[in-house]
Amino acid sequence: MKTKIFIAALPALFLLASCGGQSSDSAKTTTEQTAASQSGEVLNIDTAATMVSWKATHKGGLAPRWGTIGVSSGSLSVEKEALTSGEFMINMNALYVDPASVTEKDKKSTDLEGHLKSPDFFDTARMPTAKFIITKVEPFKGDKKSALIADPNYLISGNLTLKDSTLNVTFPAKVEITKTAVSATAKFVIDRSSWGINYKSEGSPENWAISKDVEIGLSLSAKK
């Protein structure tokens, strides 16, 4: 069994579009919740075909940066044609900055990689792993037009751990399950400062240099 996960735009796992304030597309964020019970068929993640992608911007949406991060392990559970639980571990030391996103002549993508791994951001020497654990899956009953993805049919909640902080986020998702495959897509926004990632975003908004908003996109594909 193989599961392919692509988290698009996890668009630094994690800085996005506007300079300040919380976006109207922000995921509902609460304290850490109990993980969903594992039931049904367990699908192991294919780490070779799994990745996280991220996108970040500076003040006012300027100078966007993006890249990828590897996923080291994980699983999904499916029962009676429904997603019931799942989790995946993200290798923060595998964080990569796409050179195409760094266009200034005096800047290098490798320098940004080093900075994102430093204590200013993810401090990967001390905390090399981020993770997401599903805590709840339920039918989506909100306004589909307000979602960042087309035609969501599920509302997914999960504990997102970045650095040494864990918070629960809830977001719309489109999940499709057949006899042979599972696919899911989601996209939502978080405030990185809620996880203590405050670099260049402290004090009053006019002094911020990097957006506090983070857009996370998720795309799942699993084959039995």
Number of helices (H), then strands (E), belonging to the chain: the values are 1, 11
pLDDT digits (tens, 9 = 90+) for 137-153: 999 998 988 888 899 99
Between 25 and 224, the more confident residue is 224
What pTM was estimated for this model as a whole?
A: 0.84
Residue 182 pLDDT more than 70?
A: yes
CB 51 within 8 Å of CB 91: no
What pLDDT score does 199 carry? 92
Q: What is the mean pLDDT of residues 46-56?
A: 79
Separation between Cα atoms, residue 194 and residue 182, nearest integer Å: 31
CA quadruple 204, 205, 207, 208: dihedral positive or negative? positive
CB 52 within 8 Å of CB 70: yes
Residue 61 pLDDT more than 70?
A: yes
Q: Counting Cβ atoms within 10 Å, is residue 93 exposed (0-12), middle (13-18) or buried (19+)?
A: middle
Residue 21 pLDDT more than 60?
A: no
Q: Residues 6 or more apart from 148 whose CB is under 8 A from it? A: 25, 172, 187, 188, 189, 215, 217
Residue 212 pLDDT more than 60?
A: yes
Separation between Cα atoms, residue 182 and residue 224, nearest integer Å: 8
